[in-house]
């Protein structure tokens, strides 16, 4: 079985597990000599995961197989990134966030504490892709505290999903979602409030 590649700039804070064929601390273009990758205690990084340099990752971090994280992300404690999920650079992921398999989290997105991202969810950040200056005007999605986004949902650039909101599977979210709202459809529309659902903890 192939050994993982762990670059010299990586600092693990405690016990950790790194699977076969992983690359941790991969240098990126324009990286300074002082760019460090920090990963907290009790990390489980499963096989074929690639983590670029400059990430700051808290304790209890886990990845599925083949997760891909670009550089300079800020990631809190007890975060899980699912199999074949892609997290681009300069993303903020707060404590206790769960991102399921094959999701896409582009640059400048913010996932607040306890947010839950279902499988195959696509967040976006470019309003007019490939237009002149499009890369200078990227605006990530903000997913509020304990908000949940169902499988196969697409969220358009700059949308804010409010705290405790629920987005139904397969939705296309084109506008901000209020706190505690339940939205579904294309485009997603409010159909209920989270406190009215049988499982609600509010």
Domains of the chain, earliest start first: 5-196 (2.160.10.10)
Work out whether strand 23-26 and strand 50-52 pair parallel, antiparallel, or are unpaired.
parallel
Closest CA to 35 of 12, 56, 17: 56
For 139, 153, 160, 190, the CA distances from 183, given in Å and listed in that order, are: 22, 11, 13, 4
Least trusted range by pLDDT, from 24-38, 51-65, 124-138, 179-193: 124-138
Q: What's the mean per-residue pLDDT of the chain?
A: 95
User: Whole-structure pTM over 0.85, yes or no?
Assistant: yes
192, burial (CB in 10 Å: exposed 0-12, middle 13-18, buried 19+): middle
Average pLDDT over residues 71-88: 98
Q: Which residues pair with 189 in a beta bridge?
A: 184
Share of the chain above pLDDT 70, in %: 98
pLDDT of residue 201: 61
24 by DSSP, 3-state: which? strand
The answer to whether 143 and 164 have CB atoms below 8 angstroms apart is: no
The answer to whether 143 and 124 have CB atoms below 8 angstroms apart is: no
Would the pLDDT of 157 be above 70? Answer: yes
Q: Where are the alpha helices (DSSP H) in 7-148?
A: none
Name the phi and psi angles at 112, rounded to 5.
-75, 170
pLDDT of residue 131: 87
Q: What is the largest CA-CA distance in the chain?
A: 53
């Amino acid at each position: 079985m192939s050994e993982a590649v762990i670059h010299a700039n990586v600092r693990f804070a405690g016990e950790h597990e790194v699977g076969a064929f992983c690359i941790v601390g991969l240098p990126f273009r324009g990286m300074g000599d002082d760019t460090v990758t920090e990963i907290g205690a009790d990390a489980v990084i499963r096989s074929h995961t690639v983590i670029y340099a400059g990430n700051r990752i808290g304790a209890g971090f886990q990845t599925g197989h083949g997760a891909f994280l670009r550089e300079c992300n800020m990631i809190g404690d007890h975060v899980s990134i699912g199999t074949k999920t892609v997290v681009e650079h300069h993303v903020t992921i707060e404590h206790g966030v769960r991102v399921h398999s094959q999701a896409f989290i582009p640059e400048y997105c913010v996932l607040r504490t306890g947010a839950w991202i279902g499988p195959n969810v696509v967040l976006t950040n470019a309003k007019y892709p490939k237009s002149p200056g499009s890369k200078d005007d990227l605006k990530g999605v903000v997913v509020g505290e304990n908000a949940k986004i169902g499988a196969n949902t697409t969220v358009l650039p700059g949308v804010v999903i409010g705290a405790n909101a629920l987005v139904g599977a397969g939705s296309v979210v084109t506008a901000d979602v209020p706190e505690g709202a339940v939205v579904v459809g294309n485009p997603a529309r409010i159909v209920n409030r989270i406190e009215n659902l049988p499982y609600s903890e509010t």
